[in-house]
A = this chain, B = another copy of it.
Amino acid sequence: MPTFVQILDFIGTFAFAISGIRLASAKRFDWFGAYVVGLVTAIGGGTIRDILLGVTPGWMTNPIYMICTALALLWVILFGKYIIRLNNTFFIFDTIGLALFTVVGVGKSLSLGYPYWVAILMGCMTGAAGGVIRDVLINEIPLIFRKEIYAMACVIGGVFFWFTHLLGMDMVLVQLISGASVFLIRVFAVKYHICLPQLKGEEEDEHTKQ
């Protein structure tokens, strides 16, 4: 029997893979390309985290992530045109994934003995880096660098993890509060179009461009 966290993990992986496969399909990738982009979106963040932490990436010990991405690809092939109607559903799933990946990333880093500021960074990376690699592979500027509160929700969720943990709360409660804060901040930011300020562009000269 899968646990509640495993079900959330599956939902998050599926939603992240769908987001990668949909963008790949907009670029007319073939099935293989779409699968790779979906897989990278789903596991990319966790893989970079695990390489930095010096442990074997989770997806190399459990085929569930590759199977889950294959199901996501099958879903898009079969029901592609119906997915647009489900946009709000996928937004919710995607945000569940973001929240869960953040909590998992923070928790794993702490359990390996890293300090809090590393753990918060790793939580943010687990949630957001997959999407950055996805955008690099489809040759676009990473969306999260220009739009919406996304990775910032992970950072704030990581800080909530830290504070509630410092207060001596039970670990289940810590994870719940941290994950819920990521989820709510993202939903709230999208609903009310809250963004970070942009930097003002400037003309570049050649010397400092290096």
Query: Which residues in chain A, 14-32, are within 8 Å of chain B measured between CB atoms?
Result: 18-19, 21-32
Q: A94-B208, A141-B139 are in contact. Are A197 and B31 (CB under 8 A)?
A: yes
Copies of this protein in the complex: 3
Say yes or no: is A136 at the interface (Cβ < 8 Å to chain B): yes
Contact A150 B30 (CB under 8 A): no
Contact A145 B30 (CB under 8 A): yes
Say yes or no: is A111 at the interface (Cβ < 8 Å to chain B): no
Say yes or no: is A210 at the interface (Cβ < 8 Å to chain B): yes
Say yes or no: is A199 at the interface (Cβ < 8 Å to chain B): yes
- Chain B residues in 8 Å Cβ range of A24: 145, 199
- Chain B residues in 8 Å Cβ range of A90: 208
Question: Interface residue tally of chain A, by bracket?
Answer: 35 or more
- Cα A180 to Cα B27 in complex, Å, equals 32
Contact B94 A145 (CB under 8 A): no
Contact A32 B144 (CB under 8 A): yes
- What are 24 pairs between A and B in contact, CB < 8 Å? A22-B204, A23-B204, A25-B200, A25-B201, A26-B203, A27-B141, A27-B201, A28-B198, A29-B145, A29-B146, A29-B198, A29-B199, A30-B146, A30-B147, A34-B199, A51-B52, A66-B117, A76-B199, A87-B207, A87-B208, A90-B208, A91-B207, A136-B136, A148-B210
- Chain B residues in 8 Å Cβ range of A23: 204, 209
Say yes or no: is A173 at the interface (Cβ < 8 Å to chain B): no
Contact A202 B33 (CB under 8 A): no
A residues at B contact (CB < 8 Å) = 18-19, 21-34, 36-37, 47, 51-52, 54, 56-57, 60, 63, 66, 76-77, 80-81, 83-84, 87-88, 90-91, 94, 114, 117-118, 121, 131-132, 136-148, 150-152, 190, 195-210
Query: How close is A96's CB to chain B, nearest CB, in angstroms?
Result: 13
